[in-house]
A and B are shown apart, each in its own frame.
Chain A
Amino acid sequence: MQLHDDNIARDLLVILRHGPHGSSWLREGLDAALVAAAFGQSVSLLFMGEGVAALVAGQQPGPLGQKGSAATLEMLEMYDIESLLVEEQALSRLGLMEDELMLDVEPLAAGALAEVLSAHRLVLTF
């Protein structure tokens, strides 16, 4: 992740640790990130642990019509989210390759998380 030259912290890091449909965490975490971006804050998203499953291509609405988050994620570009990070280890744990994901994301190597946390004024975990 590129830090600004003068190391000014970004405003918000939202860590998404849950996959789609199984719970409302992904949706609610994304909503918080999008609202912050809409308010003009510099926002980064990190897909961590099970959260990497949110990026699998080819998701559908749930059988009862649950919306899921795929549509929202596909529109992320429009929301001015500064960076999209994905935990490398979590990807390999699920056997996923970066090029199979629905979005262009920056891999976060093991050991690099601490630096990302301290580079943001506020960290919210979902």
Chain B
Amino acid sequence: MRYAILLLGAPYSHQASHSALRFARALVARGHRLEAVFFYHDGVHNASRLAAPPQDEPHLVDAWVDLSREHQVSLQVCIAAALRRGLLDEREAARHGKGGSNVEAPFELTGLGQLIDLGTRCDRLVTFGP
């Protein structure tokens, strides 16, 4: 089956992103296809390349990147939610005159339309909230 995950919780602050990651890994292990993870609300914080948790703690951002690379999972970050919370890629940073950016590939800033499209295309969409 084709799955999508909607993630609404920030890493570390709530267990949502941990639960989502475990679910994501389990579903690909069972042979399903994970089309995308859509990050919305505080979930956009999972895209920050500046996250620097201690070595002995889970690194959620890296884990999403690994999952994406290993299983061709699209990592889509709602651009409106991201900008409001200070998650910007190079293009948005330039557009807004910011000194730096903290979102890079494979995370992509996209519109909510992508979430709606995932909901239509996929067999299952599971939400993990804070």
Chain B interface size, under 10 / 10 to 19 / 20 to 34 / 35 or more: 10 to 19
Closest to B117 in A: A39
- In the assembled complex, the CB of A19 is this many whole angstroms from the nearest CB of chain B, namely 16
Assess whether B111 is in contact with A35, with CB atoms less than 8 Å apart.
yes
Assess whether B116 is in contact with A32, with CB atoms less than 8 Å apart.
yes
As a 0/1 sequence over residues 110 to 130 of chain B, the CB contacts with chain A under 8 angstroms (1 = contact) are: 011101110110000101010
A121 to B40, CA, bound (A): 20
Number of CB contacts from chain A to chain B under 8 A: 37
**Given known A24-B41, A32-B116, contact A122–B111 (CB-CB < 8 A):** no
Assess whether B127 is in contact with A125, with CB atoms less than 8 Å apart.
yes
With a CB–CB cut-off of 8 A, which chain B residues contact A31?
Answer: 80, 112
A39 to B120, CA, bound (A): 11
A59 to B117, CA, bound (A): 33
With a CB–CB cut-off of 8 A, which chain B residues contact A12?
Answer: 116, 119
Q: In the complex, how many residues of chain A place their beta carbon closer than 8 angstroms to a beta carbon of chain B?
A: 15
Main secondary structure of the interface of A (DSSP, over half): mixed
- In the assembled complex, the CB of A126 is this many whole angstroms from the nearest CB of chain B, namely 8
A97 to B125, CA, bound (A): 35
**Given known A122-B125, A124-B6, A125-B127, contact A35–B119 (CB-CB < 8 A):** no
With a CB–CB cut-off of 8 A, which chain B residues contact A35?
Answer: 111-113, 115-116
A19 to B101, CA, bound (A): 33
**B-side interface residues toward A, CB under 8 Å?**
6, 40-41, 80-81, 84, 111-113, 115-117, 119-120, 125, 127, 129
Q: Can you list 16 pairs linking A and B with CB atoms under 8 Å apart?
A: A24-B41, A24-B84, A28-B81, A31-B80, A32-B40, A32-B112, A35-B111, A35-B112, A35-B116, A39-B113, A121-B119, A121-B120, A122-B120, A122-B125, A124-B119, A125-B127
